[in-house]
Chain A
C-alpha cells in the first residue's frame, strides 16, 4: 500500500471534516463495486445489493472512529457489508429473496428438473440466515473458508460447522418434500 493509499485511509480515520469527506467519497468510488459484488453474492438480487451497498457505506461512515488504517479498508468494509446483508436476510421474507435475475447455469444437469431446482432454492431460503450466508459463500460461491471466516468474524472451524449444519438441514427439508438428494 503506497503513501497515497495510506494517506487516504488516515484522512478517513482522523482527517479534518473536509479531508474526511473527500476521503470518504474517494473510498466509496474505489470500493463500491467490490462491496456490491460481495453483497450480491449473499443476497443474490441486484436491487437489494445496491440498497445494501449504500447501507454498508452509511455504516462505514458512522463507524469511522473504529477504523484501523493499518488493517486496511477492504476487509473491514467486507465485514460491515456481510453484517448488513445478514441483517437484511433476518428480516426479509423468503419469497422476496428468490434469485429471479440470476441466470440458470449453462451446464445444468438435465436429470434435475427446473421444479426440483426451484424446491432446492426455496428450501435454501428457509435456512437460518447465519447458516445460509456461510453455505452461500463457501459452497455456492466456493470461496476459501478463511475468507468466509474473516468476513463473518468467526473461525474457519465455525465456518465448516455452519456449512455442515446448513447442508444437513437442507437435506432434511428436501427429504420431507420427497426429494432424495
Chain B
C-alpha cells in the first residue's frame, strides 16, 4: 500500500466515520450515576476460577511454544 492509497483510504474512512466535532458533553450530569455506582456493592470476580484458567492457558501456550518455537513471533505479533 503506497502513500497515495493510504491517503485515499484515510479520506474514505473519515467519510464513513466522521470525527467527533467540537467539545461534546454528556447529555446529563453523570454524578448521580457515579454515586449509585459507588453505593453499589462491587461484584466479586471469580478469582479462583480465573487463576486456574489463566494458569492453564499460560501452561498450554508455553508447551506450544516449546514444541513449535517458530510460533513465538506469531504470538508476539498478535500481542
Beta-carbon contact of A140 and B31 below 8 Å: no
Q: Which residues of A contact B (CB under 8 A)?
A: 25, 28-29, 32-33, 36-37, 40-41, 44, 46, 49-50, 53-55, 57-58, 61, 99, 102-105, 108-109, 112, 116-118, 120-121, 124, 135-136, 139-142, 167-168, 170-171, 181
Residues 1-45 (chain B) with a chain A CB within 8 angstroms? 1, 5-6, 8-20, 23-31, 33-34, 37-38
A46 to B78, CA, bound (A): 30
Residues of B with C-beta under 8 A to A50: 26-28, 30, 33
Beta-carbon contact of A37 and B31 below 8 Å: no
A144 to B18, CA, bound (A): 17
Distance in angstroms from A23 CB to nearest chain B CB is: 14
Residues of A with C-beta under 8 A to B16: 116-118, 120-121, 124
A53 to B30, CA, bound (A): 8
Distance in angstroms from A174 CB to nearest chain B CB is: 8
A136 to B29, CA, bound (A): 26
Beta-carbon contact of A40 and B14 below 8 Å: no
Residues of A with C-beta under 8 A to B5: 171, 181
Residues of B with C-beta under 8 A to A99: 17
